[in-house]
Copies of this chain bind each other. A is one copy, B any other.
Amino acid sequence: MDFAEQAVAARVASIELATLNRDAKDAALHAMADALAAAEPALLAENAVDVRGARDAGTDESIVDRLVLTPQRVAGMVQGLRDLAALPDPIGDAVRGWRLGNGARVTQIRVPFGVVGIIYEARPNVTADAAGICLKSGNAALLRGSSSALHTNRVTVEALRAGLSSVGITPDAVQLVEGGREITGEMMRARGLVDVLIPRGGAGLISAVVEGSTVPVIETGTGNCHIYVDAAADIDQAIGILLNAKVQRPSVCNAAETLLVHRDIADAFLPRALDALSQAGVTVHGDGATRVFSDAVVPATDTEFDAEYLSLDLAARVVDSLDEALTHIRSHTTGHSETIVTRNRETADRFVAGVDAAAVLVNASSRFVDGGEFGFGAEIGISTQKLHARGPMGLPEMTSTKYVIEGDGQVRV
């Protein structure tokens, strides 16, 4: 099938999916999990082919690491599908409802988008995760994975489709989109065939999809997350939050990338903070005012303040005021998660009001900005756009709504 045929098959499948009740979808998720678990030997064998190919192509080991499947990672994918079955079904939820003056009843209900396209990079677990989230939210999934994971993705999708068939649901609810680069372009221009595109991956992938698509896009998470340590900060708290946000898992989008320190607390805070960061293996890229506190701080440029390091690196700058911190954040934010540490209520409120981001944190680590931590149970990504969904996206964010108006002959006068 070419892409247009796949998209039409997905549309037809989406009509069936939209009417499935929760029990049917949960049974399908367990069947998909069973089939995936049974396919483990094939999955590991085909994954080894992908991994060998990637290494032969000279791929960076950190990317190869994302590509590798182990029995433990397969078990994680299987469990992810079963966990989805345990979550409430968002479809059919009444968002709100009222009666018109003439007695007709209006109800706004959650409905699936229809056909969702996911464009993603090497991580093979995204294939099962995205397929499961789409299925539970009643959406047909068109999965466009990386060519470097093609063998792995083929076995995964084959298993998921077999699981669907085994419970009498059309396998076209989950399809792998294969083919050269031009197919990604076709997918991005498939307005009317694809309802929503969600890119998952690095900043380059996301901006290419955002710029090139005529299909509506949900932009997910690059995070140049700032921590502003205010003059009225509790220093112990600030050091704890800074270290956690930077070091606990540096490779993720909700990790801290830039530290801003109020000049009035710099003398008391920075020597201790820089020492703790250094002990944790963090390289600090600082402005002049930061560098006076430690020879280990390397010079920062404006490039540094725009960096999403995703590594044990941190940009740092001393600011004269909350306003200077807000101005800095406005110039460099990716709109993900911004943190203030302060005991001053008014300063906290001004920071919360003045920062334009998916999440603003007061005296807590930005690592909490996560679907799992929020209790959403499943997450397709963290939206950094303002339209439709902002922040961690759970199942309700994978839906649209429909107004149902029921009357007995009402006409407009």
- A68 contacts the other chain (Cβ, under 8 Å)? no
List CB contacts (< 8 Å) of A200-232 with chain B: 210-211, 214, 216-218
Task: Give the CA-CA distance A244 to B403 in the complex, in Å.
Answer: 20
Question: C-beta contact mask, A159-187 vs B, less than 8 Å → 1, else 0?
Answer: 00000000000000000000000000000
Task: Give the CA-CA distance A401 to B114 in the complex, in Å.
Answer: 24
List CB contacts (< 8 Å) of A38-54 with chain B: none
Determine whether the beta carbon of B248 is less than 8 Å from that of A373.
no
- Of the listed stretches A70-78, A271-279, A385-393, chain B binds A385-393
Could you tell me the distance in whole angstroms from the C-beta of A81 to the nearest C-beta in chain B?
Answer: 25
Residues of B within 8 A of A348 (CB): 406
Determine whether the beta carbon of A114 is less than 8 Å from that of B241.
no
Residues of B within 8 A of A244 (CB): 411-412
Determine whether the beta carbon of B240 is less than 8 Å from that of A411.
yes
Determine whether the beta carbon of B401 is less than 8 Å from that of A390.
yes
- A19 contacts the other chain (Cβ, under 8 Å)? yes
Determine whether the beta carbon of B411 is less than 8 Å from that of A216.
no
- Tell whether A411 pairs with B354 under 8 Å between CB atoms, given A360-B404, A400-B386, A405-B362: no
Determine whether the beta carbon of A240 is less than 8 Å from that of B402.
no
- A296 contacts the other chain (Cβ, under 8 Å)? no
- Tell whether A360 pairs with B403 under 8 Å between CB atoms, given A210-B191, A368-B104, A408-B237: yes
Task: Give the CA-CA distance A408 to B106 in the complex, in Å.
Answer: 43
- A85 contacts the other chain (Cβ, under 8 Å)? no
Determine whether the beta carbon of A412 is less than 8 Å from that of B211.
no
Interface size class of A (residues with CB under 8 A): 35 or more
- Tell whether A390 pairs with B386 under 8 Å between CB atoms, given A353-B18, A409-B241: no
Residues of B within 8 A of A387 (CB): 113, 196, 216, 218, 387-388, 400
- Tell whether A367 pairs with B411 under 8 Å between CB atoms, given A100-B373, A195-B386, A354-B15: yes
- A363 contacts the other chain (Cβ, under 8 Å)? yes
Could you tell me the distance in whole angstroms from the C-beta of A4 to the nearest C-beta in chain B?
Answer: 16
- A303 contacts the other chain (Cβ, under 8 Å)? no
- A62 contacts the other chain (Cβ, under 8 Å)? no
Residue in B98, B214, B406 whose CB lies within 8 Å of A362: B406
- A361 contacts the other chain (Cβ, under 8 Å)? yes
- Tell whether A362 pairs with B404 under 8 Å between CB atoms, given A211-B214, A240-B409, A386-B196: yes
Determine whether the beta carbon of B114 is less than 8 Å from that of A386.
yes
Residues of B within 8 A of A218 (CB): 387
Task: Give the CA-CA distance A77 to B6 in the complex, in Å.
Answer: 49
Residues of B within 8 A of A211 (CB): 191, 214
| In the A-B complex, the 10 residue pairs with the closest CB atoms | A364-B407, A244-B411, A386-B400, A367-B412, A237-B409, A388-B388, A359-B403, A364-B410, A387-B388, A216-B387
